[in-house]
Amino acid sequence: MEIAIWTFIVFILIALFKTLKYENNNAVYNEEQLIKRYFEIKNINPDYRISSLRDWEVCAFNVLEKRANSKTNRVVHLKSIDNIK
């Protein structure tokens, strides 16, 4: 009986380490939640990702235009991403 319990302890330790190794793969656990979150955002604002890309394009274009004139301000400001809260 005691040997059975000791083997049970070892078995649970092995199961614990196997579980932690399996959980270490974050993608398996986060993929479903990320997809759900993506569709939530899509339902709220279908244009969300496209608008942020458009803002980034405008900013990048402005920066490229101004680069010839001024050498100081070369940072691309991501307006839509800066305001995320």
Partner 1 sequence: MINLELGFFIAKFYLAGYFLCFLMSYKNKQKNLSNLIITTIALVNCIFNQYLKEALGFYTFYLGAAFQILILLLISLIIHLYFRIKHKKTTLVVYGLYLVIAISFMVLHRVRVVVFDSDEHILWLINAHSVLTLTLYFLSVCVLAYGSKILWKSQFGRSSSLF
| Stretch touching partner 1 by CB under 8 A, among 2-10, 39-47, 49-57, 59-67 | 2-10
Q: Let me know if 59 is exposed, middle or buried by CB neighbors in 10 A (0-12, 13-18, 19+).
A: middle
Tokens of 77: 């400001």
Q: Position of tokens 């980034």? A: 56
- Judged by beta carbon, residue 9 or residue 35, the one nearer partner 1 is 9
Core vs surface per residue 19-40: b (16+ CB within 10 A) or e: eeeeeeeeeeeeeeeeeeeeee
Q: Tell which positions 46-85 bind partner 1, by CB under 8 A.
A: 84-85
- Judged by beta carbon, residue 34 or residue 64, the one nearer partner 1 is 34
Q: From residue 3 to residue 22, what is the string marking binding to partner 1 with x (rule CB under 8 A)?
A: --xx-xx--xx-xx--xx-x
Binding site for partner 1 (CB under 8 A): 1-2, 5-6, 8-9, 12-13, 15-16, 19-20, 22-23, 28-29, 84-85
